[in-house]
Structure 1
Amino acid sequence: MIRKWGFISFLIFILPQVMLAQLNFSDHFINKVLRVDYLLTGTDSTAEVILRQLKKEPHYGGSHVNLIDIYDLGTYRYRLFDQSSNELLFSKGFCPVFQEWQTTDEAKVQKRGFYQVAIFPFPKKTCRLVIEERAWDGEFTEVFSTQIDPEDYFILEEQVPAYEVAELSLQGLPQKKVDVVILPEGYMADEMDKFVADANRMVRSLFEVEPFSQHKEDFNWYAVKVPSVESGTDIPGEHIYKNTAFNSHFYTFDTPRYLTSQDMLSIHDAASVMPYDHIYLLVNTNQYGGGGFYNFLSVTSVDDRLSETVFIHEFGHGFAGLADEYYTSDVAYSEYYNLEVEPWEPNITTLVDFDLKWNGMVGDNTPRPTPRTSKYRDVVGVFEGGGYLEKGIYSPVMDCRMKSNGPNGFCPVCQQAIEQAIEWHCE
């Protein structure tokens, strides 16, 4: 595994070889989507996949060059193999809501299922899909495997919904750009102008911070106009329930500010009208909150005074796989990180294998651990606290957009991870 090597060795010897090993897209795929819908279900210690449906969709937004994920991010991943040769054709890491739920107290006493969607280019030949979870020791283990015949007449090929789309910013071909579909949650039909204005406002705020300010030309943004019956969203803790397009709600895992949706069926059906790498759900409420899941979904409310800040923070999770760096806020999780294993997220460390992280960015005169004092306020160091824990996990700076709403933007370590994600999508 990559984590057994030093970071410099990885860059010099391994990364070029992996990059050269990327496949020729047209040899194995056509420029459409094979979408696999399934339930991810289990308890705190078990995971099971239940296949629901397969769909052929018209708009693949991903890179035609970078098909095999080399960065090993995410708590889950899916991989596609050629059935006859066993050659790896495609892979992608992600973080599902299910994985967070597994660390809650409820998961210790009850089994639950969460709707999931896997997206990859449509294969030309029979292939094998494998879904894997990252175990407590940091290694991936297989949860599910199935054979997929692209000629199977049970693969649905339905007409995509006829939703109107506002093209917020188009900068080039989908396979050469980061394609983001923004969906409206809790906007009625007569509120679509507000939705487009909110979407434009959020996108502008993102491009006011580094490194996004240098990469506006690397993104395509679409706003898909999907009306809801009622305005707003569910707030279960206040007994407020709304009939909305994507069934979002606050109080996820009993945390009032945690705003999510588990209706991935409706979300992906709506997003299918355009090519996409990432989906962002804007929720029409003035209550503070949001949520972000790597290569899965980002969500934020739009009318709180901190909505733009939360939008940027959650995109850090969803797009670049950045971890939360705070350690004092209430969360529903217990035993979220194994302190004997280096976390996969690029902006936290247990120091188990710090060479894989930002070791080279820490100055010789900066102590490790680095005290959280004013002397080190503006330096990259090794500050204890992060990933919801006060002890045993370290973050790069005293404060960052991934820690609080105070800083103007991301720290140098988070910026580096974001740059890496942008480059990966745009090759």
Structure 2
Amino acid sequence: MNKILFLLLIVAQHHIFPQINFDDYFFDKTLRVDYYHTGNDTLEIYSIDELLQEPFWAGSKNNLVDIFNYGKYKFIVRDEASGKEIYSRTYSTLFSEWLTTDEAKQTTKSFSETLIFPFPKKNVIVEFYSRDKKNILYKKFEYKIDPARYFIKKEKPFKSTYLEIINNGKPESKVDIVIIPDGYTINDSSKFLKDCERFSNYLFNTSPFRENKNKFNIYAVLTWSEESGTDIPADNIWKNTIANSSFYTFDVDRYLMIYDNKTLRSLASNAPYDQIYVLVNTTKYGGGAIYNHYSVCVSDNPNSEYIFTHEFGHGFAALGDEYYTSEVAYSEFYPLDVEPLDPNLTTLVNFESKWKDLIDDDTPIPTPSTSEYKNKIGVFEGGGYSAKSVYRPAYDCTMKSISLDNFCAVCKRAIQQMIDFYSN
């Protein structure tokens, strides 16, 4: 049933946006647009940094136009001559999370961000969209690109080789994950390769990834840090690492992220990729992920398998956190008068758009957290860092608690839809 619904969505998408012939508009390589996102809780500015040509295009050549209403942002690539939308994606960024912190009310910051899309054959216009507090997208900025312009950089600042961990076929018909090592020195190289094998197995221990293993490619970029480990600012630990990861993002001790977007993207460009996963060589508990941005996991914590799959739920399928007791620094991350964008959270403002079709007729909405409904899909209060008025689909799930192979039916559907989109 879920597969049928998704196929109908694809059919509707192609009816609204006629099928785009990749070869009519694009070369089989990537154009990368680095830009700065500057602002605070009342100000937003986009500014272009630089354009780069990268050698691989890993994305689908069929599903060029985004069909998911996820993420804080969206970009649309239009053929300049016709105005036709020829590529688009939704995404979120570290900047969008920072905007919900108290610091964003006190100061202005700039974050480096990146768009990637197939390298255009002709002039295009790139439109940048942001959502308002009602989650409505508004165009904020546009930039014209002449692909023949000689200022598009072709150099590779971090030239490295990559190793195929899992190869199931052409990147254009697979979900391509590139694993970037951080805090692994040259002496840790054999450990990194063993870790890549181990973490690949972690992913496919979990449904629905397990059933779709043949739809994935996983690559490891062979690049090394000067020192082992990562930054832990509160403990005055600072390590010279290739991707510059750090705990205490937004002053949350376990939030392990990367501000150095340009370096990370340059490292990732050494392999074909749809998704970037950074593996950090440390035993400390932590990680993080942002939809269509990147994911991060620690290598040697007892809960690394859970962290790896949980964070990929965020980064790949836009799943929200379903727990509601947390030290996160966000304030009112989910406004209660609008429906969350995450496919596994609801405020009941527009529940028809979420998982109502998966709920039995005799299951009450909201759903009591009692043994009677413990193994059913329902609408359980508590989620998205809030104990009240934000609801999750299941009593328990990998997006709620430290648990393995425990994605609920709603999360599984969202993951499956994304796998199908990228592997078509």
Offset from partner CA, 1:324-348 (integer Å, 9 cap, x none): 0111111100021121111111101
Distance in 2 between the 1:11 and 1:325 partners? Answer: 24
Q: Secondary structure at the match of 1:253?
A: helix
Distance in 2 between the 1:408 and 1:171 partners? Answer: 23
Q: Secondary structure at the match of 1:89?
A: strand
Deviation at 1:150, TM superposition (A): 0.6
Amino acid at match of 1:231: S
Contiguous gaps of at least 5 residues in structure 2: none
Distance in 2 between the 1:172 and 1:294 partners? Answer: 25
Q: Secondary structure at the match of 2:205?
A: coil
Offset from partner CA, 1:164-223 (integer Å, 9 cap, x none): 322100000000000010000000011011111111111101101110110110000001
Q: Secondary structure at the match of 1:215?
A: helix
| 1:424 pairs with 2:414 | no
Structure 1 residue aligned with 2:309: 312
Amino acid at match of 1:118: L
Structure 1 residue aligned with 2:391: 394
Structure 2 residue aligned with 1:337: 334
Structure 1 residue aligned with 2:201: 204
Residue of 221, 233, 236 corresponding to 2:233: 236
Deviation at 1:17, TM superposition (A): 3.3
Structure 2 residue aligned with 1:4: none
Deviation at 1:15, TM superposition (A): 4.8
| 1:19 pairs with 2:6 | no
Distance in 1 between the 2:198 and 2:101 partners? Answer: 35
* 1:45/1:102 contact within 8 Å kept: no
* 2:255/2:288 contact within 8 Å kept: yes
After superposition, the Cα gap between the structure-2 partners of 1:217 and 1:11, relative to the gap in structure 1 and judged at 3 Å, is closer
* 1:160/1:272 contact within 8 Å kept: no
Distance in 2 between the 1:242 and 1:47 partners? Answer: 32
Contiguous gaps of at least 5 residues in structure 1: 1-6
Structure 2 residue aligned with 1:277: 274
| 1:37 pairs with 2:25 | no
Residue of 250, 253, 273 corresponding to 1:253: 250
Residue of 43, 48, 67 corresponding to 1:46: 43
Q: What TM-score, normalized by structure 1, do the two folds share?
A: 0.96
Deviation at 1:407, TM superposition (A): 4.9
Distance in 2 between the 1:278 and 1:84 partners? Answer: 31
Deviation at 1:22, TM superposition (A): 2.9
- Taking only the aligned residue pairs, the percentage that are identical comes to 46
After superposition, the Cα gap between the structure-2 partners of 1:198 and 1:39, relative to the gap in structure 1 and judged at 3 Å, is same
Structure 2 residue aligned with 1:3: none
More divergent stretch after superposition (250-259 vs 14-23): 14-23
Distance in 2 between the 1:160 and 1:65 partners? Answer: 31
Q: Secondary structure at the match of 1:182?
A: strand
Distance in 1 between the 2:404 and 2:381 partners? Answer: 18
Deviation at 1:134, TM superposition (A): 1.3
Residue of 178, 181, 190 corresponding to 1:181: 178
Structure 2 residue aligned with 1:151: 148
Distance in 2 between the 1:12 and 1:249 partners? Answer: 41
Deviation at 1:408, TM superposition (A): 3.2
| 1:297 pairs with 2:294 | yes
Deviation at 1:273, TM superposition (A): 1.3
Offset from partner CA, 1:334-386 (integer Å, 9 cap, x none): 02112111111110111111111110111111111111122211110000111
Q: Secondary structure at the match of 2:246?
A: coil
Q: What TM-score, normalized by structure 2, do the two folds share?
A: 0.96
Amino acid at match of 1:18: Q
Deviation at 1:159, TM superposition (A): 4.3
Deviation at 1:19, TM superposition (A): 2.3
Structure 2 residue aligned with 1:379: 376
Offset from partner CA, 1:243-266 (integer Å, 9 cap, x none): 000111000001000000011111
* 1:30/1:123 contact within 8 Å kept: yes
Distance in 1 between the 2:7 and 2:114 partners? Answer: 35
Deviation at 1:274, TM superposition (A): 1.2
Q: Secondary structure at the match of 1:143?
A: strand
